[in-house]
């Protein structure tokens, strides 16, 4: 198995299964920080833009204050604890919630931003993980329904006061897009924004395309199964191997089914999305995972400028029709 050696971001938890690569450059500058329980790394290719690196992390801090479900002063926490009353939120929070509602709708609730009570039951980071009590899961399911979310002007309310919003499934992609937007405004033309493995490529490198290696499931971190050559696109993966544990020979992973309360079991191992905006990559990767291979691939084929790679539990790779045409790739085995 080959390993990508172009460029490696060593993150604590490879949340979306990526290694990012590009040719070496003497002008490369990079900065990392920890937000949303993941390492964020921004890499640029001109030292002239070094002051803008710090500004990117100021944006990350601001958005964490808006979107975090664990910070008591965040917009999301205020919504969740308002007892169903309308809560005035920042423009960015409203934008992200509406994007989340869109993917909740098109996936038929397979992706749902109101899973807060469910995700809080599952802890994939503790030393001795355990499956939550079924009674607790059933109680959480009663509060899950994206149709409980009402938006009006700049306010958000919940029809069911017990419902809790969790934007973790799309927040990182949104932040990556906002960082890219800011950097473009500052004249930056080349760079990589990596939020816990959500890889967003800024522009096209002067010495060629960015090389993005997609992690081989259940192999040591840094082992790529296939590589993509992309420019000015994002690559996002949802995979069962990212956060998981095994009990009594059964794998439990973090991609939870809002209908059952347990991890999806549909023979998929991962879904990789290649598209323009990282927030859409976030939403699509989970939504398509929830749909399964056939329906998920059909959904992708009806989208413009969007490609996907599905990996099934038999280690077979399934490519959308544009792969190899609009997105060059190489199998690394």
Q: What is the pLDDT of residues 64-102, one digit of tens each?
A: 999 999 999 999 999 999 999 999 999 999 999 999 999
pTM: 0.90
- Where in the chain do CATH 1.10.3980.10 domains reside? 69-168
| Domain 18-63+191-331 = CATH 3.30.56.10 | no
**Secondary-structure percent of the chain, ordered helix, strand, coil, rounded to 5:** 30, 30, 40
Q: What is the pLDDT of residues 210-264, one digit of tens each?
A: 999 998 898 887 889 999 999 999 999 999 988 888 988 899 999 999 999 999 9
CA-CA distance, 151 to 320, in Å (whole number)?
35
- Where in the chain do CATH 3.10.520.10 domains reside? 18-63+191-331
Decide if pLDDT at 268 tops 50: yes
Percent of the chain at pLDDT > 70 equals 92
Highest mean pLDDT out of 17-26, 34-43, 139-148? 139-148
- Domain boundaries 69-168, corresponding CATH code: 1.10.3980.10
Q: What is the pLDDT of residues 172-183, one digit of tens each?
A: 999 999 999 999
Rounded (10°) angle between helices 278-291 and 91-106 = 30
CA-CA distance, 198 to 191, in Å (whole number)?
14
Q: How many CA atoms lie within 13 A of 130 on its CB side?
A: 6
Q: 197: pLDDT confidence band, cut at 50, 70 and 90? A: confident
């Amino acid at each position: 198995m080959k390993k990508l050696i172009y460029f490696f971001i060593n993150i604590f938890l490879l949340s979306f299964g990526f290694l990012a690569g590009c040719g070496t450059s003497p002008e490369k500058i990079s900065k990392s920080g920890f937000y949303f329980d993941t390492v964020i790394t921004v890499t640029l290719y001109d030292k002239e833009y070094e002051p803008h690196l710090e500004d990117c992390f100021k944006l990350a801090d601001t958005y964490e204050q808006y979107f975090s479900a664990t910070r008591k002063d965040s917009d999301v926490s205020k919504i969740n604890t308002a007892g169903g009353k309308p809560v005035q939120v920042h423009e960015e929070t409203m934008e992200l919630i509406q994007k989340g509602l869109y993917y909740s709708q098109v996936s038929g609730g397979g992706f749902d931003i109101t899973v807060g009570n469910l995700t809080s039951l599952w802890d994939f980071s503790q030393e001795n993980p355990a499956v939550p009590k079924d009674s607790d899961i059933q109680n959480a399911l009663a509060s899950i329904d994206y149709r409980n979310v009402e938006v009006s002007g700049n306010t958000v309310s919940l029809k069911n006061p017990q419902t809790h919003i969790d934007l973790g499934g799309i927040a990182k992609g949104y932040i990556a897009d906002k960082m890219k937007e800011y950097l473009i405004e500052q004249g930056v033309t080349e760079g990589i924004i990596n939020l816990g493995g959500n890889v967003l490529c800024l522009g096209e490198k002067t010495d060629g395309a960015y090389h993005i290696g997609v992690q081989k499931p259940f192999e040591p971190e840094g082992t790529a199964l296939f590589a993509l050559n992309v420019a000015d696109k994002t690559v996002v993966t949802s995979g069962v191997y990212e956060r998981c544990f095994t009990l009594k020979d059964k794998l439990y992973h973090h991609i939870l089914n809002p209908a059952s309360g347990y991890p999806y079991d549909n023979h998929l191992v991962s879904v990789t999305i290649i598209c323009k905006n990282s927030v859409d990559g976030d939403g699509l990767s989970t939504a398509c995972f929830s749909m399964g291979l056939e329906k998920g691939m059909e959904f992708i084929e009806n989208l413009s400028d969007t490609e996907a790679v599905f990996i099934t539990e038999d280690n077979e790779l399934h490519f959308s029709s544009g792969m190899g045409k609009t997105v060059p790739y190489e199998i690394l085995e």
